[in-house]
Chain A
Amino acid sequence: MDIRTLTIPQIRAGLAAREFSASELAEEALRFAHIENPKTNAYLTFSSERALEAARSVDRRLARGEELGALAGVPVAVKDVIVTQGLRTTCGSKLLEKFIPPYDATAVERLEAAGGVVIGKTNCDEFAMGSSTENSAYGPVRNPVALERVPGGSSGGSAAVVAQGTAVVALGSDTGGSIRQPASFCGVVGVTPTYGRVSRYGLVAFASSLDHIGPFARTVEDAAVLLQTIAGRDPKDATSAFAPVPDYGAAMRQDVKGMKIGLPKEYFAGLENETREQVEKGIGLLRQLGCETVEISLAHTEYAIACYYIICTAEASSNLARYDGVRYTTRSAAAKTLAEMYRLSRGEGFGTEVKRRIMLGTYVLSAGYYDAYYLKAQKVRALIARDFAGAFESVDAIITPVSPFPAFRLGEKLDDPLQMYLSDIYTITGSLAGIPCMSVPCGRTRGAGAEPLPVGMQILTRHFDEPGMFRLAAAFERAGGFAV
């Protein structure tokens, strides 16, 4: 068994053939993770006891000849903004350094019920705010593909552990690209499902109208299996959708001949040449598979960043009001009055980017500015969503780059928040519209003398058309698209 390349079907087969036990697999994952972690800083907390207990439970079922769940024995990592009962959940923030959640997120509960083995919690930008995982109070994550570069963010730790092979799949969260962009930077598959497809119960809230939980994996099938397990209505999250969850496996077996793909012209300008070339090669492969491509326009794309950073900061400023020094572990020692307790606990606990977003969000919601900023942004959001709805009247899927460039160097964009925000341009639009989107690996750059870096291709489909998205992604993977 080589933990670095194992897939979910291989684990299922290996357990059935008694080639290895779930306990051996969990021990191997933990052993390898402990060796690799000093290089990448991708895990913040290991859950060895919980993992071994879950693995033993799978082994007992196996010994009794009982049916195994879809994730039986699969080592899973969970982004540290998703709560886990009794297991520290920091959100990458100093403020929550000692926070031990009293309950499990629904997504975690479901994946463990299916036999998944949670081996640890992964590093991320503080409260998922960032595009590089450099905003973590516990130090940045390094990209396992190129250690002096960022893994992307905010789910950089989850992308890194799947890429380095210390976990087979991982959960991340995505608000404006926080799953897809790190997936593209680390060369793995990352899925942001339709808004409401996966319960957010237990996902620490950042921007509630935009937050999603989704999977990372090394193959399309593994990502689909994890999503299949965690998707579906949850009474504990009123925003989770009632729509039935279709069989993604069946969709992945279909061929893609005749599928109509839209290529929005706004997404193929202003990106680095090598990134564009790789994505165009990917599109060429889809044409060879029988897809028809057509140029389309998503006219309001250039307004998406401005729209997003008003909406997400407004919602964040409200959501993060709960960190007041009363309930969540940390209170300023210097505070003497109630007002000081609020102000100092928050001032000492939050990092720079979180403060910046709370300030921006407070400003755009404040009296006299609400209409000019927040309401305006909500209207522009409607226009962006309308662009997509219009496009999907004539195409089955849309394909774009994930990021204008591959993984950048640590520190390269840290001092310029606007530049960092602008790098989210291709992922933010799908988040605002709430449609399913995913990043699949699409070869690597090959610049003279430079190290090859992974490039991601984004697939977007209609609301709840995850089957169409997985169908395209799986056909692309089968045809060798990951190494195109």
Chain B
Amino acid sequence: MKLTESQVRGIADLANLHLSEEEIARMARDLDEILTHVDKLNELETKHVEPMAQVLFEAGATASLRDDVEVTPLTNALALGNAPLAGAGFFKVPKVIER
């Protein structure tokens, strides 16, 4: 096994993702199978290969920068429109610091 259930719990913590006990067991099995397949990549010698992070095409270094002109942003009301909880022009979240 490449992944224990306790490792799966650790990854879920990193991902801020709650998983049920059942999901943890299933996830350990599924990820193990996928990671075993992925090991195939180690057959390839890649020491001198440049990693490809993005499909890049010819363009000037600053081509993607826009002119520094003002544009109208979303209004505060629209930006908050999908918030589960908002008030006084802000997103609201559970209290983080006790007074």
Q: Which of A's residues lie within 8 Å of B, judged by CB?
A: 98-100, 102-103, 195-196, 209, 235, 238-239, 241-243, 300, 302-303, 305-307, 309-310, 317, 321, 324-331, 335-344, 346-348, 350, 352, 355-356, 358-360, 362-363, 366, 373, 375-383, 385, 417-418, 421, 433-434, 463-464
B81 touches A350 (CB 8 A): no
Contact of A359 with B31 in the complex, beta carbons under 8 Å = yes
Partner of A376, one of B31, B46, B53, B78: B46
> Measured between C-beta atoms, what is the minimum distance from A157 to chain B in Å?
23
Choose from B42, B44, B52 the contact partner of A385 (Cβ within 8 Å): B52
* Cβ–Cβ contact B37 & A418, under 8 A: yes
CA–CA, A139 to B59, complex, Å? 44
Contacts of B61 in A (CB 8 A): none
Give every chain A residue within 8 A of B39 (Cβ-Cβ): 306
Q: Are A373 and B17 in contact (CB under 8 A)?
A: no
Report which of A238, A317, A376 forms a contact with B64, defined as CB distance below 8 A.
A238
- The contact of A324 among B16, B51, B78, by CB within 8 Å, is B16
Q: Which residues of B contact A337 (CB under 8 A)?
A: 94
Q: Which chain B residues in 25-74 approach chain A with CB under 8 Å? A: 27, 30-31, 33-35, 37-44, 46, 49-55, 57, 59, 63-64, 66, 74
Q: Can you list 17 A-B pairs with a CB-CB distance of less than 8 A?
A: A103-B74, A235-B66, A243-B57, A306-B37, A306-B39, A307-B41, A329-B84, A338-B93, A339-B16, A341-B94, A347-B18, A347-B20, A360-B34, A362-B15, A381-B51, A382-B49, A382-B51
- Tell me whether B31 and A326 are in contact (CB under 8 A): no
Asked if B5 is at the interface (CB within 8 A of a chain A CB), the reply is no
Q: Which of B38, B44, B91, B93 contacts A309 (CB 8 A)?
A: B38
* A382-B17 contact given A309-B38, A326-B91, A360-B34, CB 8 Å threshold: no
Residues of B within 8 A of A (CB): 3, 8, 11-12, 14-20, 23, 27, 30-31, 33-35, 37-44, 46, 49-55, 57, 59, 63-64, 66, 74, 78-79, 81-85, 91, 93-94, 96
Our pick among B38, B50, B79 for the contact of A102 (Cβ within 8 Å) is: B79
User: What's the least CB distance linking A421 to chain B, in Å?
Assistant: 7
Q: Which residue of A lies closest to B26 (CB)?
A: A352
Distance in Å from the Cβ of B90 to the closest Cβ of chain A? 10
Which of B34, B83, B96 has the most chain A CB within a 10 Å cutoff? B34
Tell whether, in the assembled complex, residue B44 and residue A300 are in contact, meaning their CB atoms are under 8 Å apart.
yes
Cα–Cα distance between A383 and B47 once the two chains are bound (Å): 12
Which of B31, B55, B66, B91 makes the CB contact (< 8 A) with A360? B31
B93 in contact with A417 (CB, 8 Å): no
Can you list the 8 inter-chain pairs with the closest CB atoms, starting with the nearest? A347-B18, A434-B55, A378-B51, A382-B52, A331-B84, A379-B46, A195-B55, A343-B18
Question: Cβ of A373 and Cβ of B51 under 8 Å apart?
Answer: no
Given known contacts A336-B94, A358-B17, A382-B52, is B57 in contact with A196 (CB within 8 Å)?
Answer: yes
Q: Is the CB of B51 within 8 A of A418?
A: no
Q: Write out the residue numbers on chain B whose beta carbons fall within 8 Å of the beta carbon of A330.
A: 84
Q: How many A-B pairs with Cβ below 8 Å?
A: 159
Residues of B within 8 A of A352 (CB): 23
Instruction: Establish whether residues B93 and A341, one from each chain, have CB atoms under 8 Å apart when the complex forms.
Output: yes
Q: Are A303 and B40 touching (Cβ within 8 A)?
A: yes
Beyond A100-B81, A102-B81, A239-B64, 15 additional contacts (C-beta under 8 Å) are A102-B79, A235-B66, A239-B54, A306-B40, A307-B41, A317-B15, A327-B91, A337-B94, A355-B17, A356-B27, A373-B38, A376-B41, A380-B44, A382-B51, A463-B57
Residues of B within 8 A of A463 (CB): 55, 57
Contact partners of B44 in chain A: CB under 8 A? 300, 303, 379-380, 383
Looking at the assembled complex, report how far the CB atom of A366 sits from the nearest CB atom of chain B, in whole angstroms. Answer: 6
| B14 and A209 contact, CB distance less than 8 A | no
Q: How far is the CB of B69 from chain A (nearest CB, A)?
A: 11
Q: Give chain A residues whose Cβ lies under 8 Å from the Cβ of B78.
A: 102
Which A residues lie within 8 Å of B55 (CB)? 195-196, 209, 385, 433-434, 463
Given A100-B82, A196-B57: A305 in contact with B31 (beta carbons within 8 A):
no
* Chain B proximity of A108: nearest CB distance (Å): 17
- Nearest neighbor of A378 in chain B, beta-carbon distance: B51
| CB of B3 to closest CB in A, whole Å | 8
CB distance from A375 to the nearest CB of B (A): 6
Known: A378-B51, A380-B46. A306 touches B38 (CB 8 A): yes
CA distance A19 to B84 in the complex (A): 49
Contact B50 A382 (CB under 8 A): yes
Please, how many angstroms separate the alpha-carbon atoms of A102 and B75 in the complex?
10
A335 CA to B93 CA, complexed, in Å: 10
CA distance A421 to B40 in the complex (A): 15
Is A338 a contact of B12 with CB atoms below 8 Å?
no
CB-CB < 8 A to B59: which residues of A?
A: 241-242
Q: Which residues in A have their C-beta under 8 angstroms from that of B33? A: 417-418
